[in-house]
Amino acid sequence: MKDLYDRGSDDEVVKLAEEYLKKSPGDADIRYAAARSLIRLGSLATVVAESQQSFLKAYNHLQAARAAGPSRLEIRIALCDVLYHLKRHEALLPEIGSLLAEHPGDSKTLDGVAFYAEEYLKDGQAGRAADVYGLLARAAPGSAALVANQGTALLVSGDLDGGLATLERAARMDPADADTAHNIAQALLYRGDIPAALEWFEKTSKASPETGRFVLDLAVVKAIGSPQEALPRRPCEPTPPLSRPSC
């Protein structure tokens, strides 16, 4: 079946798997093989009904495979894939939470779950991406990057207060991260708090002085906050002898 899958012969994989499962319905490997092909068929289908049918069949196979091999990571990740494609967000989040709890600190698990957050962002569903990043941040409590990703996703979703609070927590965890400081500065700017935004833009520029866009943003916000300071100074006018310059 692996050769058939590698060649893209998914219909043949599913057909062979279904024949084999009539004799050995509890074979987790065969069910997983069938599910992988069904997931690919569902992803490639151009008709929504056909796509949904493939994903539902894959879901059933994976549930049976999970019962036979509950600790197998590849089966759990594939189950998350199906739930994502079926748009069952409320079911996907508990599944992700359970998966992370069973594989604490495992980089493969963290990377596999991060994929869904990235896909939600690409799909314009930043709030759901923030939910996934939140689960990841709780599973890896020392990761400032995951907290920052959650905060950024919250900002993109329109949750300014939640995003700002989360980004500030990330900044406390890693004060030297220029991107986090920059996102905080932008959030404060959107809120209209120019003095606080300027403070964070200055932190951003100090953390990464070689980054041109950070320097430019700092200059722009300085101009907004103190336009007179941003204007070039006029040359001193000639003054009579014994008088102090006028500028």
Query: What's the mean per-residue pLDDT of the chain?
Result: 89
Query: DSSP secondary-structure letter at 143?
Result: -
175-228: what CATH class?
A: mainly alpha
Q: Rounded mean pLDDT of 68-81?
A: 91
Express each pLDDT in 100-135 by its tens digit.
999 888 899 999 999 999 999 999 999 999 999 999
DSSP letters for 157-188: HT-HHHHHHHHHHHHHH-TT-HHHHHHHHHHH
Contact 38, 10 (CB under 8 A): yes
The correct CATH number of 1-87 out of 3.30.70.260, 3.40.50.970, 3.40.309.10, 1.25.40.10 is 1.25.40.10
Q: Say whether pTM exceeds 0.85.
A: no
The pLDDT assigned to 213 comes to 84
Annotated domain spans of the chain: 1-87, 92-157, 175-228
* pLDDT > 70 in the chain, percent: 91
Query: DSSP secondary-structure letter at 231?
Result: S
Enumerate long-range contacts of 222-225, CB under 8 Å, 24 or more apart: 222/198, 224/194, 225/194, 225/195, 225/198
Q: How far apart are CA 60 and CA 138, in angstroms?
A: 30
